[in-house]
Amino acid sequence: MNILEVKGVSKRFGGLQALGDVNLNVQKNTVHAIIGPNGAGKSTLLNCFVGKLIPDSGSVMFDGQSVLGKKPHQINQMGISRVFQTPEIFTDLTVMENMMIPCLAHRDGAFEMNAMVSLAGQKDIQEKAEEALADMGMADKRHMEASAMSRGDKRRLEIAMCLAQEPRLLLLDEPTAGMARADTNNTIDLLKQIKETHDITIAIIEHDMHVVFSLSERITVLAQGTPLVEDTPDNIKGHPKVREAYLGEAQV
Amino acid sequence: MDAILLQVLNGLDKGSAYALIALGLTLIFGTLGVVNFAHGALFMIGAFCAVTLQKILNLSSITIDPTQTDFLGNPLKVKTPYVINWFGEVAGSAIINWSVPLAILVAIPVMLAVGYVMERGLIKHFYKRPHADQILVTFGLAIVLQEIIKANYGANPIPTPAPDAFHGSYDFGVMIGFEANAIIYPVWRLIYFCFSALVIGAVFAFLRFTTFGMVVRAGMADRETVGLLGINIDKRFTIMFGIAAAVAGLAGVMYTPINSPNYHMGMDFLVLSFVVVVVGGMGSLPGAVLAGFLLGVLESFASMNAVKGFFEAIYLPSIDQIVIYLVAIIVLLTRPRGLLGRKGVMEE
Amino acid sequence: MLGLDKKNSALLLIVIALTVFAPFLMNPFPQSSGLAQFNAGYPDLMQRFVIFGIFAIGFNILFGLTGYLSFGHAAFLGVGSYAAVWMFKLLSMNIVPAIVLSVIVAGLFSLLIGFISLRRSGIYFSILTLAFAQMSFALAYSVLTPLTNGETGLQVYNDDPQILLGNGPTVTHLFGFEMNSTSTLALGDWAFQFNMGYYVSAVMMVLAFYLSMRIFNSPFGLMLRAIKTNQTRLNYTGVSTRPYTLAAFVISGMYAGLAGGLMASMDPLAGAERMQWTASGEVVLMVILGGAGTLIGPILGAGFIKYFENIFSKINENVLHGWFAALPDGLENAIVWVLHFFVGKGWHLTLGLLFMLIVIFLPGGLVEGGQRIGRLFKRKKSGDDASNTKPAE
């Protein structure tokens, strides 16, 4: 069963055709990677899923519902969470406060005027947030200001925040960009573990082939705004078109 | 028809001032990313350059004329401005008479220097600070500058007349085929408009046709990339700030004969210039100019007796006071980016 | 206590104690001493402390928590004043309906302005609120003269309807307790003044402070702080930021309306100048000076500014000459010449400089300054400890 169905999506920026007639299906409870050389339109495509961009034509269906025209927060409430290339967290707040926000958003929805309630009195939120931090091994850092954490920890916190919303689809935009090998491997392990322990679909945009091949079950190769091929990792490895696309990039 | 034309003309001088101030605001905002709440103060400083020059030129030597007596019977003290002593009666009084246009020569270096000091001394340190801090520190600076002027020149407006040659009005109507006395327009206001058009043209030409201007425009579009190319963009931005200051200052110098300058003229114009910038589209130079003239003309139409009378009839006197704001709200509700605003400027 | 944790309860108690004993605390110098001019225990000054305290506390909920810098909040204060005076004109001099209406009207007005202004954020938002404030000023000053009495300002006249007045007091009162009634306690060379209006305003301020504490510590408050640090993440966490910012905007607008209503209750006048954008700038300064985003900061800032405004405006050249009379004449004249720019009518220059200095050197305001000093002492102490323990190791 497909959780995400993309049909004929096109997007133009002025004279540049960023996406041209993209068709893509992400099956439920799989890890699906979208790869491609720089400028292939990966991020543009992702932005069309989360409501940051609206495609010129085509449809994006999540679990049978269209996401087009919806605002980012509405799409998120439908069950899509997004991890950014550079970790987007609340840097001025403590780690615990960071964790409580998605818990609140999951419980209360897009807006709740609970100005006269004590935050400390929200036992369910507190417990859920602490549990999530403990799962990530960050319980000891809960009173730390988030800006003081290492980049790897920020990434883990961001992922934990996304998971706290119990999303059905987790989108990751180059989660290991700029990471050291050790951190990259940790992230791979973390994602594998998430895949095993959660009822979740993961779609990942990635440059690092090591990450792609150790995680994904399906791979879509994007080049110049259109999908070249979609297949299993083993078939992708030896595919001539993929080689061409990447070699082409190497020559530039 | 002639009444409409007259209102258009009437709106042009105020519109010119809005356009010049808004142009500088947008330039600073586009290049440095700073909203300069002290920009109105620069307009005021320009005006007070003219006031100061007028004062200096009128500095006089006092001689006693033994042949004449004043009404108390004492020997008459005669004040003669030094310029007249030095250059003779004719040239001397001509210089005094032309103090406002001459002030342009004074204002350009002064304003460039003020702009340079402001940018290097204060605003430079605020590039990386939040926008709120930038607004607040320039707001504080505006108060300080305005109070300094007040302490030195007093709170009352200081009359600063235009040269005699430009006094009076000119009957335009005749020139373009209307009856005599249909469209009479003060000469100085026309000069102000032409001068503004000249300054605006010069700024656009400068940005369009010089390499300096091209780099600045590129920097406005994408600061990081230009920085990566190894171009010292910061230095150019400092110069840009100086130019913006000079533009505001010149607008102030030439405005003095239209409205006698006082210490709060800067603040008065600043708020409206902000509205102009927002209506024109943040970061759009043509937008600032267009909106400046449009709103100036609009304000003048709203102050027409017929229009005012209509609104007075529905218990809304002095509609001209708020018409600019009303239009600004409508524009922003229908075109949130302003008339000529680009996507992506000041979003998120 | 009252849904607050220990630390906040203590803070609330301190604020209560300070406001209750303010007539003593503000009047430390004997009347015959030369320092008496630094006293601030006069009813109208103390009223201003707490009323501007309310204004600043409310502004802090918007600016301190969400980071949205409004330059138009004086408009809400002005609208509140007008609403209150209309209640005096139409009903009676009882302040309860006046204050209730001023809060409601300011709330509705801020809902309207906030709804439009909050379509944009950052600089755009500041400029929009500024434009609205100036428009409100122009409206009050000329366009809506039938409602605001234009330049003259709105006030109560004998021929106003005042349908509920009956034989009631003709000065503002709270169920018979007149706002301008002051009892004086003479203790030796001191004269402490206890004013009804001050205590009514003080009770309102304590209440306002308590509410702001609850807001700060609520999930709502956390969301507002999250808006300040990262709106993108919040949007992608399924939270719609607009209703939150709008709610904060309206709450702070209602606080401003309350302040305006109280202001009119102390002195039943309302004028357009209260709405000018320099007045909006003043409340921004109060919050920044005290410490934006802190609980106690706005109250400190409001008190500080209003106190020094009062003192600095009173000082003139003669006073300065009196102070420096002991110095040699030349030096005395030089010092007085320099200082006279900053006092009396020059208070605004001092205010502007203060504004710049605070933003440049102490963006966290007085609270941060206090914390820095506190840390300095702590470090010294722990430094001593460290040097003491080291040789033992």
CB pair distance less than 8 Å for A118 and C217: yes
In this prediction, residues C298-311 reach a mean pLDDT of 92
Residue-level pLDDT at A168: 94
The model's confidence at residue B342, banded by pLDDT at 50, 70 and 90, is: low
C25 lies within 8 A of chain A by CB: no
Residue-level pLDDT at C228: 93
Judge whether residue B73 has pLDDT over 80. Answer: no
Q: Which residue has the higher pLDDT, B5 or B172?
A: B5
In this prediction, residues A48-57 reach a mean pLDDT of 91
Residue-level pLDDT at C76: 97
The model's confidence at residue A250, banded by pLDDT at 50, 70 and 90, is: very low
Task: Say if CB A163 and CB A172 are below 8 A apart.
Answer: no
In this prediction, residues B305-326 reach a mean pLDDT of 75
Q: Which of A148-162, B55-69, B92-106, B281-295 has the lowest mean pLDDT?
A: B55-69
Residue-level pLDDT at A39: 80
Q: What is the ipTM of this complex?
A: 0.92
Helix axes C347-361, C277-290, angle to 10 degrees: 50
In this prediction, residues A88-111 reach a mean pLDDT of 94
Q: What is the DSSP letter of A141?
A: G
Q: How far is C349 from chain B (nearest CA, A)?
A: 5
In this prediction, residues C188-201 reach a mean pLDDT of 91
State the pTM of this model: 0.89
Judge whether residue C218 has pLDDT over 70. Answer: yes
In this prediction, residues B195-204 reach a mean pLDDT of 92
Q: Which of A46-55, A214-223, B274-283 has the lowest mean pLDDT?
A: B274-283
Residue-level pLDDT at B85: 81
Judge whether residue B341 has pLDDT over 80. Answer: no
Instruction: Report the mean per-residue pLDDT for chain C.
Output: 88
Residue-level pLDDT at C391: 38
Residue-level pLDDT at C277: 81
Residue-level pLDDT at C97: 94
Judge whether residue B228 has pLDDT over 80. Answer: no
Whole-number CA gyration radius for chain A: 19
C233 lies within 8 A of chain A by CB: yes
The model's confidence at residue C388, banded by pLDDT at 50, 70 and 90, is: very low
The model's confidence at residue A183, banded by pLDDT at 50, 70 and 90, is: confident
Task: Say if CB C87 and CB C97 are below 8 A apart.
Answer: yes
pLDDT per residue as tens digits for the range A64-75: 999 998 999 999
Q: Which of C360, C362, C368 to mutate to test the interface with B (most CBs of B within 10 A)?
A: C360
The model's confidence at residue B343, banded by pLDDT at 50, 70 and 90, is: low
Q: How far is C149 from chain B (nearest CA, A)?
A: 12
Edge-first strand order for the sheet with A31-35 is A80-83, A169-173, A201-205, A31-35, A218-223, A226-231
What percent of chain B is modeled with pLDDT above 70? 91
Find all residues with CB under 8 Å of B154, minimum gap 6, and list them: none
In this prediction, residues C207-236 reach a mean pLDDT of 95
In this prediction, residues B144-161 reach a mean pLDDT of 88
pLDDT per residue as tens digits for the range A224-233: 888 888 888 8
The rounded distance, in Å, linking the Cα atoms of A153 and A31 is: 23
Judge whether residue B305 has pLDDT over 80. Answer: no
Domains of chain C: 6-295 (1.10.3470)
Residue A15 to residues A11, A18, B7, B221: CA-CA distances in angstroms? 11, 9, 43, 18
Residue-level pLDDT at B116: 93
The rounded distance, in Å, linking the Cα atoms of B321 and C131 is: 12
C96 lies within 8 A of chain B by CB: no
CB pair distance less than 8 Å for A115 and C251: yes
Q: How many CB pairs under 8 A join B and C?
A: 125
C330 lies within 8 A of chain A by CB: no
Tokens of A187: 């992230």
SS (H, E, C) B42-80: HHHHHHHHHHHHHHHHCCEEEEEEEEEECCCCCEEEEEE
Residue-level pLDDT at B347: 43
Residues 164-203 of C with CB under 8 A from A: none
Instruction: Report the mean per-residue pLDDT for chain A.
Output: 89
Helix (H) or strand (E) holding A171: strand A169-173
Residue-level pLDDT at B113: 94
In this prediction, residues C132-153 reach a mean pLDDT of 88
C244 lies within 8 A of chain A by CB: yes
A120 lies within 8 A of chain C by CB: yes
Among the ranges B26-40, C79-93, C305-319, which has the highest mean pLDDT value?
Answer: C79-93
The rounded distance, in Å, linking the Cα atoms of C3 and B343 is: 46
Residue-level pLDDT at C128: 86
Could you give phi then psi for residue B176, rounded to 5 degrees? -110, 25
Residue-level pLDDT at B346: 43
The model's confidence at residue B321, banded by pLDDT at 50, 70 and 90, is: confident
Cβ-Cβ contacts under 8 Å, A113 against chain C: 220, 243, 247
CB pair distance less than 8 Å for A90 and C220: no
The model's confidence at residue B348, banded by pLDDT at 50, 70 and 90, is: very low
Cβ-Cβ contacts under 8 Å, C249 against chain A: none
CB pair distance less than 8 Å for A101 and C221: no
Residue-level pLDDT at C383: 56
Facing C218 at nearest CB: one of A84, A114, A165: A114
Q: Give chain C's end-to-end CA distance (angstroms, integer).
A: 45
In this prediction, residues B276-298 reach a mean pLDDT of 88
Residue-level pLDDT at C386: 46
In this prediction, residues B243-255 reach a mean pLDDT of 92
Cβ-Cβ contacts under 8 Å, A111 against chain C: 239-240, 243-244
The rounded distance, in Å, linking the Cα atoms of A71 and A59 is: 15
The rounded distance, in Å, linking the Cα atoms of C293 and C225 is: 9
Task: Say if CB C278 and CB B139 are below 8 A apart.
Answer: no
Closest CA to A158 of A143, A176, A140, A181: A176
pLDDT per residue as tens digits for the range C334-386: 888 888 778 877 888 888 898 889 888 888 888 988 888 888 888 776 655 54
Facing A93 at nearest CB: one of C214, C218, C226: C226
Could you give phi then psi for residue C41, rounded to 5 degrees? -85, 35
Judge whether residue B182 has pLDDT over 80. Answer: no
Q: Which residue of A has its CA nearest to C229?
A: A90
Residues C212-223 as b or e (16 or more Cβ within 10 Å = b)? bbbbbbbbbbbb
Residues C45-77 as b or e (16 or more Cβ within 10 Å = b)? bbbbbbbbbbbbbbbbbbbbbbbbbbbbbbbbb
Residue-level pLDDT at C390: 38
B182 lies within 8 A of chain C by CB: no
Cβ-Cβ contacts under 8 Å, B336 against chain C: 119-120
Cβ-Cβ contacts under 8 Å, A93 against chain C: 222, 225-226, 229
Residue C44 to residues C41, C48, C226, C265: CA-CA distances in angstroms? 9, 6, 39, 12
The rounded distance, in Å, linking the Cα atoms of C363 and C69 is: 14
Residue-level pLDDT at B215: 79
Q: Does the CA dihedral C378-C383-C384-C385 come out positive or negative?
A: positive
DSSP-assigned letters across all residues of C172-206: -EETTEETT-EEEEEETTEEEEEEHHHHHHHHHHH
Judge whether residue B177 has pLDDT over 80. Answer: no
Edge-first strand order for the sheet with A57-62 is A16-27, A2-13, A57-62, A65-66
CATH 1.10.3470 fits B2-57+103-334, yes or no: yes
CB pair distance less than 8 Å for C232 and B348: yes
Q: Which CATH architecture has domain A2-79+167-251?
A: 3-Layer(aba) Sandwich (3.40)
Residue-level pLDDT at C389: 41
